[in-house]
Amino acid sequence: MSTETAKGLRQPKRANEKLFRTLGIEPVPDEKKVEEAIRHLDDFRNKLRSFVVTMENCVKCGLCADNCHTYLGTKDPNNIPAGRADLIRKAYKRYFTPQGKLFGPLVGAEELTLETLEKWYSYFYQCSECRRCSHTCPFGLDTAEITMVGRQILFWLGIGPQLHTATAGAILKTGNHMGLTKAGIIDTLEFLAEEIEEDRNGLKVEFPTDKPDSDILYIPSSADFMLNPNTLKGAGMFFKWVGANWTMSSRITEAGNFGYLMDQTRIQREMVTRLYEECTTLGIKKIVWGECGHGWRAAKMYVASYSDLPGVAKIPMTHIHDEVAALIESGQLDLDPTRNSQKITLHDPCNYVRACGLCDQMRVIMRAVTSDFVEMTPNRERNFCCGGGSGVLFDDPAMYEYRILASNKKAEQVRETEAEVLCAPCSICKAQLYPMVKEHKLPVEVVGLIDLVGHALVFPEE
């Protein structure tokens, strides 16, 4: 079923059965879908405490509504976090609570139907898993977790967006979202090294790939190879400046993890397995993560528990922002903030500030590498999502329109700062904000944070 036929619901274009089969999923026939979904819900409630807590405790106080950018942008009640969670909660009550079994609709319980599953598909792919709702809810109920449960069950039924499903296919094939090949990776990195040499007075920066006996494995976002070259360049210049023995790996050229956004089992695990195999092959002592919000969350919070190789699970893992901030604080970097002198504001990637404790580090860096930094309001852990979170970067007309609506709040925040540059250190944020600033007619340039670091670093040989 496509966007047009699903009863007025806004839905992303879905992947076909053939694509699902390449991921090892046999799509469930319509007449079995409801039954299967209930069975999965039963499993989740037995396994996942956070799921049960959210199912059992919402008091419908409504506080979360105006704190979700998707509701603010669309005014659709199913986009109120509590409304979104209700799409599952009604079935949960009906099948797993005594009151629901006895009194049904009187206590908010409802049979699960194919129509409801269509709503799941619509509204769980309008949630960006940004967790602003859970930050606001007096009970800390986390609708992002419910979205994850919903998306996972849909995936097992054989329902998922073309974008996420095709990206999962690229993961299995190449270990990155874009389907980058080793030849493409090396060619791009050579091109970037030449650009630096031209722009920076003959400065020579190497971008090692698959280099054995490296101390540091840097995990870039694959989107940086297509859209965000300055982020890659910044990382290369940083590692050169500190004299690191570093490498990237062509088998895991991906900071993100679309598995985490759709299938937190097979696909998510694939990335973790590759990561650790590469650490072993290359003799890695430390993993440094690149700019990607959901990917850093998936790495920092889930990698150890997904690893089947306990030895390598002990390899320390940090974010490149942690590395840079620590060296700035100990006075070890030579930075010239006047090289980034335009008025600049910072968009806090939700996953950094509400799921990874990566917040002050970004400010330490901003203050050291720019000379006119202005905060947007609200900021830090109260920041609003860019509207593209969890990979809802759909370009079919209905969903594209949704993305722009969901970024209304962000556009308003940016406009108020009167900044000329918008720093957004996350690949999904960048991919969302490039078109967003155009559609909202914001006269700002979108950049990453490591881009600015590279630009501000002063090399003696320059």
- The dihedrals phi and psi of 41, each to the nearest 5 degrees, come to -60, -40
Q: How far is the CB of 184 from another protein (least distance, A)?
A: 4
Choice from 91, 130, 450, 456 touching ligand SF4 (CB under 6 A): 130
Applying CB under 8 A, the site for another protein has a residue count of 42
Angle value at C-alpha 264, between 63 and 215, nearest 5 degrees = 110
Q: Which two tokens stand for residue 7?
A: 């009863």
- The 3 state secondary structure assigned to 320-379 is HHHHHHHHHHCCCCCECHHHHCCCEEECCCHHHHHHCCCCHHHHHHHHHHCCCEECCCCC
337 touches another protein (CB under 8 A): no
Residue 244 near residue 207, CB atoms below 8 Å: no
Residue 209 beta carbon to another protein: minimum distance, rounded to whole angstroms:
14
Q: How far is the CB of 384 from another protein (least distance, A)?
A: 19
Tokens of 233: 């360049």
Decide: is 448 part of the binding site for ligand SF4 (CB under 6 A): no
Contact 2, 118 (CB under 8 A): no
Site for ligand SF4 in 59-88 (CB under 6 A): 59-64, 68, 70, 81-82, 84
Lay out the site mask for ligand SF4 across 277-316 (x = CB under 6 A, - = otherwise): ----------------xx----------------------
Among ligand SF4, another protein, none, the one that 386 touches (CB under a kind-dependent 5 to 8 A) is ligand SF4
**Is 397 near another protein (CB under 8 A)?**
no
In terms of CB distance, is 127 or 217 closer to ligand SF4? 127
- Is the sign of the CA dihedral 197, 180, 248, 445 positive or negative? positive
Q: Which of 36, 195, 210, 277 binds another protein (CB under 8 A)?
A: 195
Using rule CB under 8 A, residue 45 touches another protein: no
Which residue, 256, 216, 444, is CA-closest to 349?
Answer: 256
Q: How far apart are CA 292 and CA 347, in angstroms?
A: 13
* Angle at the Cα of 352 from the Cα atoms of 350 and 357, rounded to 5 degrees: 125
Nearer Cβ to another protein (84/233): 233
302: which residues sit within 8 A by CB, 6+ positions away?
A: 260, 264, 268, 272
With CB under 5 to 8 Å by kind, the binding choice for 258 among ligand SF4, another protein, none is another protein
How far the first Cα of the chain sits from its last, in Å, is 58
Site residues (CB under 8 A) for another protein, limited to 348-377? none
Task: Supply the minimum distance, in Å, between the C-beta of residue 44 and ligand SF4.
Answer: 18
* Residue among 298 and 386 whose Cβ is closer to ligand SF4: 386
335, interface contact from another protein, ligand SF4, none, CB < 5-8 Å by kind = none
| Segment contacting another protein by CB under 8 A, of 49-57, 95-103, 172-180, 265-273 | 172-180
* 351 is a contact residue toward ligand SF4 (CB under 6 A): yes
Q: 132 touches which of another protein, ligand SF4, none (CB within 5 to 8 A by kind)?
A: ligand SF4
Place of tokens 């919402």: 58
Name the minimum Å distance from CB 415 to ligand SF4.
17
Query: What is the distance between the alpha carbons of residues 118 and 156, in angstroms, rounded to a whole number?
Result: 14
Coil, strand or helix at 14: strand
Q: 348: which residues sit within 8 A by CB, 6+ positions away? A: 359, 362, 379, 380, 381, 383
Backbone angles phi, psi at 102, to 5 degrees: -80, -45
Q: Which residues bind another protein (CB under 8 A)?
A: 13-16, 18-19, 162-163, 166-167, 169-170, 176-181, 183-184, 187-188, 191, 195, 221-223, 225-227, 229, 256, 258, 292, 391, 393, 395-396, 427-428, 430-431
